[in-house]
Structures are given as C-alpha cells and as structure tokens.
Chains A and B, each alone.
Chain A
Amino acid sequence: MNVVWYWTLAAMLTAYAVLDGFDIGVGAVHLWIARKDHERRVALNAIGPIWNTNEVWLIAAGGMMVPTFPRVYAASFSGFYLALTLVLWLLILRGVSIEFRGQIDNVLWRSLWDTGFCLGSLLLALLFGVALGNLLKGLPVGQDGYFQGTFALLLNPYSLLTGMLSVVVLAWHGVNYLRLKVEGELCRRAQKWSRILAPLASVTIVAATIATFAARPGISSNFAAHPVLFVFPLLMMVGLAGGILSRDENHDRHAFRSSMLVVMALMGSAAGTVYPNLLTSTLDPAYSLTAFNAASAPSALRVSFIANMIGMIGVVIYTVYVQRTFRGKVRLGDHDY
C-alpha cells in the first residue's frame, strides 16, 4: 500500500504538472506571444474555463498527503515555509489576474492584470522547479524529521538549474497548447516559439540530467535495481524527439503530445530517482522520510486509497467531458477573459 500511495501521489502531481503546466506556460509567454488585446483574450480564453480545475489537482494532491504521509506533509510544508508562502501569494496573484482582467474594458486595467498573470506564472514555474530540484538533491532533514529551508539553502545552483528547466519546459508546453487552441497569426507565432523552445528544452534537460548525477551520486542505483524505471528516460527521449520534429503547421497535435510526454517523463524520472524517499536527508540517510517510515498505518492507507480513488474515477470522467466541451479552436466572443 505504501508503494501504491507513493506512486499515486507522484501521479497526482504529474497530472497537476501536465494540466496546470500548460496554463502556467501560456501565462509565462502570453505577454510576448500575444501582443494585441484581442490576441491576449484569445490566449486567455484558451485556458480560462479550465485553469481552475487544473489547479485542483495540486490541492487534492496536497490534501492526500495529509492522511497518508502526515510526517512528510508536516516536515516539507513547515520546512519550505517562506517558499510556500511565495507560492501561495503567486497562486493568489495568478487566479485574481486571469479572472479579473476581463471584468473591465480598459487598457490600463488589462495591462495590469496581464503583467500580474505573466509574473505569477513565470515565478511559479521557477519555484516549482526549484522545489523539485531540492527534493532531488536532498535537504538537511534532522533526526526529528524536520528541517529549516532558508532561501540560502534552497536557492543553490543545482535547483536554480531545475527551476530554469521548469520554466523552459512549461513555456514550451504552454506554447504547444496554444498551437492547438488558437488560429491565424497568433498560432503561427506559437509555432515559431515552439520550434525554438523544443531544442532549448532538450538542452536544459540534458544539462539538468548531468547535474543530477553530480548532485545525487547514487542516482543510478534505483534505475539499476528497478529497470522498469528506464521507461521514463525513454519516454523523455521520444517526447523530445517528437517535439523537435513537430515543426510543421499540421503537427500541432504531435507537438502538444510530445511536451505532455516530456513533462510526464520528467516527473516520473524524478519520482523514480528518489524512490522510496519523499524527503531525502543530506545529514544521514537514516533520517530520510520514506514511503515506509513516514506513512500512516496500513489500514488508514487502504481506506484513504479506496475513498479517494472512487472519487477520482468520477473526476476523470467529468474532467474529460468538460475539456471535450471546450475542445477545438478558441474564437472571440465565446467567453470573456
């Protein structure tokens, strides 16, 4: 059950990264890609009706950690105190920006919220990447299972690199989403950006992978012990190759699938690398919080799993339904962001 929950949480966070990833990505680039007001409206309308549901994956994943790995929740949330506070403020900024921009038809009002949305999205992408980097690298988790994550500690060269990676990959993912959802000049610009970002993403991923070997010496042991994990790097290569090759106008669909694959593979590789640790201690491996030593009692894990998964089946069904309702290219006048 512990193993199941470990991978369930990884899957929930992956779903979050894939889904909210593209709307964070759109937010990160829309200031430059969509220059005129009506273009920005099209770009925002593409994510408007679904960004909120995408964000719920984060809330649900965080919620699931409480009953399953309470000590990890306690340690990571209190340890990443200021960083998470920033995440909260940025989430507020982002949500308010996208929802309130359309309320008033005024140039200044709209530029204000466009900038807010862009800033919020960019910094969130960076912070999530930094957080992932620190989880990979390990944290000074003490014997009591807690640590204090000051900025001096969290913002190290390695995690800044993973932060950059997150920005590039999510921007690429967002641009690919726009390729699917918009038309005309805007779409052509998205294709142009996508052609630049795909190789850039490949380079950062290669760099980050090399850096990971340096930051976490034992990285290969997990992959050697569980060869099935090689599926993730493999998928990553497929995704990157597909992304670089999807240059043409009629490859929009492939491009989006490729970046989706890459985001999934990145999250999967990260989860595979640290498994079974949820928080790796740099002080003493014995202090690490793992899926086994930091979990709730087996009965609680089982019950939570059943209760949550029954609900998740429903969620997946109607999420697919709602997303299908909004499928196809966005035209103005449809919604009002």
Chain B
Amino acid sequence: MADAVIADRVQFAFTVMFHYLFPILTMGLGFFIAVLSTMGLITHHERYATAADFWVKIFAINFVIGVVTGIPLEFEFGMNWSRLSAYSGGVFGQTLPLEGVYAFFLESGFLGLFLFGRRRVSRVLHWLAGVGVSIGSLLSGYFIVATDAWMQHPVGYAIDSANGTLRLESFWAVMFNPYARSQYLHTINGALLTATYVIAGIGAFYLLSDRHQDFGRLSVTMGVGAGAIFALTQLFPTGDLNSRNVVTYQPIKLATMEGLFETEKGAPIAIIGMPDTDHGKLIDPIYVPDVLSYLAYGDFRARVNGLKSYPKELWPPVELTYYSYHIMVGLGTIFIAQMIFGVVLLWAGRLHRSRWFLWTLMMAVPFPFIANEAGWVVAEVGRQPWLVYGLLRTSDGTSTNVAAGETIFTTLGFAGIYAMLSLLFVFLIGRVIYSGPQEVGEIAQ
C-alpha cells in the first residue's frame, strides 16, 4: 500500500511540475502580448505588432504543450486519486469545470482567432482576441489555484453524516477562499516576473549577437522595467500575504520552511543552514535574530512554535520543504537586486550597452522557472502528510483499485513522452528565437 502511495505521489509531482513549466510562461507572456498589441493599436507603430507576433509564436508552442500536459492532471484526480474525488469532489471539484468553462474556452478560442484571424477580422477585434487570450490564461490560473487552496485550507463544506463524505455548504466560500486570494496573487506575479525575464533575456540575446536591434532594445527595456516592479511585488505584498496564510493556517509548514526546531520567543531567521532532522537542529546556520518573529507576527519578541512542539508524524518532509523555500527566497532576492540594477543602468542610459549585464540577463532566464517550481514544492510538500489539510491524509486519497505497478508503468510512459516533448520544445523554441522576429505573421510556409 505504501508503495502505491509513493508511486501516485511521484507521478503527480512529476506530471504537475513538468506541466507547470509551460503555463508559467503563457500566463505571464499573455499579459505582455496584450500590452504590446494595445500599444500597437494606439500608436500604429509597426514595432509593437512585430514584437507581439514574435512573442505569440513562443506563446503558441508553450500553449500546445501546456494543454496536452494539463489534461492528464485533471484525469489523475479520478485515475490515481479516486478516493480524494469520491470524498471531496463535490466541494473542491466546483472550481475544476469552471476553469474549462470560464477560462479555457476563452483562451483556446481566441488564440486561434489571434493566430490565424489577422486578415479575417478588424484591427480592433484582433486586439480584443489578444486581450481575450490573456484574460483567459489569467483566469484559468485562478480556478486552478482556488482548487489547490481548498486543499491547503478547506472551507465551505460540511461532513455528510450519512456516508462521511464532504458536502458543499457555500459555493462562494470555496470560490473566494482567503487562502486562494494571496496564493493566486503570488502565483500570477511569479508568472509575470518569469515572463519579464524571458522577454529581457531574449532581447539581450539579440542585442549581444547584434541582430534585431530595435526589437532587442524594446524587449530589454520592457523586461527590465516591468521586471523590477514584479520582482519587488513578488516579495511584498504578494509573498508577505502568502506567508501570512501559512502562519495563520499551517504553522507546522512555517516551522518546516524556516527550519525552526525549537519554540522560541524572538525566533531567528536562518539565511542558510542544513537541517538535521535526527538531532533537531540546523547545521552551519547563519541566523538573523528575532526576524522570523517579526515577519510572522509583526513583533520581534513574538513566540514562534518550532517543529518539536508538534508530533513527528505531522511533520512534512523537512529537507525538501526547507530547501525549496530557501531556493525560492534566495532566487527572489537575486531577482530584485538584478532588476533594480538594470533599472539604474536604464536610468543612466547604459542598459543597452552594458554587455556584461545583458549577459547576466540572458543567463538568468531559467532561474525564475526554478523559483516558481520551488515555491509550489513548498506549498504542496509542506502540506504533507495531508492531502486535504486536517481532513484527509495523502495515503487515504489514492485509488485502491490501481496497483503501484500500474502507476509506475504509466509514469515511465509519461517520462518518455515528456522527454520527447522537452527535446521538441527546445528545438522549436530555439528555431523561433534563432530566426528572430522579422517575418511578421507566418511561422512557416
């Protein structure tokens, strides 16, 4: 039985993490495509339309892989997590179809129109299609985050006395779960930040290789300008709001993230350090005293419960949660520094000529993806041992009629297919970037 649970968890973790690499970019890039088409519509300047057309090519390839790797996740709720669905589908499932109905139809319908309808509809309608794609992708994020938020902090339900399953009490409570709000803002902000890095990074590539100068300058300026804003809002207010959720609803996760084993008044924050769960301490830590108390409760002397104050069977996997959190925060700090520095260069009029800085922008592109994924690992691994926080253990949510061997088989299949998809993706995106933004409209003839 334990084996089956691990197989199910590995499969979900793998398929969801692979999938999420793509919507990060579609959610973020969609917004900037809408911005560029708006600027094109207003100024009638060719460069914005050209830029929008270039990014939509990147968007489209991402979108395809995002779609085909997203469907398995919906299915897995029933296939591998059937007891979760049977137990609480009536409540958390509310938001799932709404994603399709309110967001996904919008996104896919208007993407077709945006990609292929330029000569079939008016300028304004084409612009509207671009905005529709962006709204669709941003909305779809909300419904998915709301579904996850319900598992983090279940609300709006009652336990059915007849069969012990959950029954919906309040639709609006599920829809506007307080946990979902800040988690969504933090997620979307992360996607927007990632898009700014991609835009700035690819723009830097063109400037450095002395091609498509105008497009490169536009992209670097836009990427750095917007990137500085989103890097800051990633920390405050969205990151701060999100950690308040954890402080309020999941104090064990907080202690795990921070590697705090002992309950302390004036708890320190560990900048680095390696957790030793057997002895309940951090190895080689660098502490800043009292800061954790302040961040969590706004008071330097506040008492923060350490892991040891909870039964060990309720601890999430400490190392994975702790490191993911520190990777996320560490990278976030670097993003702020880098983007602010970029703004200073921009202000000094030297951004487009500082070759070394453009190099750092180009090389930094993978890191926001890592930070986003790490953030989700904190959220999901840190929720363990619960599947639905406080209500359903992960080990009680799996399908009893699916054997570990079956899940391992399908996971291997997914691994092979996703490896192929990765190769294809790198190859095709590489081609788009290499051939550059010049050819308006057509991808290939």
Contact = CB atoms under 8 A, between A and B. Distances in A.
A319 B83 contact: no
A322 B113 contact: yes
- From A78, A145, A304, residue with most partner B Cβ within 10 Å: A78
Interface stretch (B255-263, B272-280, B397-405): B397-405
B75 A325 contact: no
Interface stretch (A175-183, A253-261, A310-318): A310-318
Contact of B109 (A59, A60, A322, A334): A322
B100 A56 contact: yes
Nearest to B76: A77
A154 to B, nearest CB: 14
A67 to B, nearest CB: 4
Contacts of B86: 70-71, 73-75, 145
Contact of B71 (A67, A91, A100): A91
A79 interface: yes
A59 B94 contact: no
Given A102-B443, A296-B90, A52 B113 contact: no
Contact of B106 (A76, A82, A84, A318): A318
A334 B116 contact: yes
Contacts of B400: 146
Contacts of B167: 296-297, 299-300
A63 B99 contact: yes
B164 to A, nearest CB: 13
A274 to B, nearest CB: 19
Contacts of A231: none
A105 interface: yes
Given A49-B116, A325-B121, A56 B104 contact: yes
Interface string A51-90: 0110110011011101110110111111101101100110
A60 B98 CA distance: 8
A78 B71 contact: no
A92 B417 contact: yes
A74 B82 contact: yes
Contacts of A89: 413, 417
Secondary structure at the B interface, as helix, strand, loop or mixed, is: helix
Interface residues of B, number: 70
Contacts of A48: 112, 116
A303 B171 CA distance: 7
B442 interface: yes
Contacts of A216: none
A74 B78 contact: yes
B442 A336 contact: yes
Interface in B101-121: 101-102, 104-106, 108-113, 115-117, 119-121
A134 B89 CA distance: 24
Interface stretch (B60-68, B211-219, B340-348, B350-358): B60-68
B139 to A, nearest CB: 10
Nearest to B117: A325
A151 to B, nearest CB: 12
B406 interface: yes
Given A49-B115, A52-B108, A100-B424, A60 B97 contact: yes
Nearest to B169: A299
Contacts of A75: 82, 86
Contacts of B113: 49, 322, 325
Contacts of A334: 116, 119
A96 B75 contact: no
A147 interface: yes
B68 A103 contact: no
B112 A53 contact: yes
B428 A59 contact: no
A78 B8 CA distance: 12
B101 A84 contact: no
Contacts, number: 219
B72 interface: yes
Given A52-B108, A103-B431, A311-B102, A300 B64 contact: no
B185 to A, nearest CB: 23
B360 interface: no
Interface in A225-240: none
Contact of A103 (B82, B93, B443): B443
A205 B311 CA distance: 63
A334 B99 CA distance: 31
Given A76-B78, A307-B94, A82 B406 contact: yes
Given A67-B94, A74-B85, A303-B168, A95 B67 contact: yes
A180 B410 CA distance: 40
B79 A77 contact: yes
A192 to B, nearest CB: 29
A335 interface: yes
A99 B60 contact: yes
B108 A53 contact: yes
Contacts of B91: 67, 300
A60 B424 contact: no
Interface in A119-169: 145-148
A111 interface: no
Nearest to B157: A300
B120 A66 contact: no
A174 to B, nearest CB: 19
A30 to B, nearest CB: 19
A333 to B, nearest CB: 8
Contacts of B101: 60, 63, 308, 311-312, 315
B67 A88 contact: no
Interface of B: 60-61, 64-65, 67-69, 71-72, 74-75, 77-80, 82-83, 85-94, 96-102, 104-106, 108-113, 115-117, 119-121, 160, 165, 167-168, 171, 399-402, 406, 410, 413, 417, 421, 424, 428, 431, 442-445
Given A62-B75, A81-B410, 10 more contacts: A59-B104, A73-B78, A75-B86, A77-B77, A82-B410, A92-B417, A103-B431, A308-B101, A326-B116, A336-B442
19 contacts: A49-B117, A59-B71, A66-B97, A74-B78, A74-B89, A74-B399, A81-B399, A81-B401, A85-B410, A102-B444, A299-B167, A303-B171, A311-B102, A315-B105, A318-B106, A318-B109, A325-B117, A334-B119, A335-B115
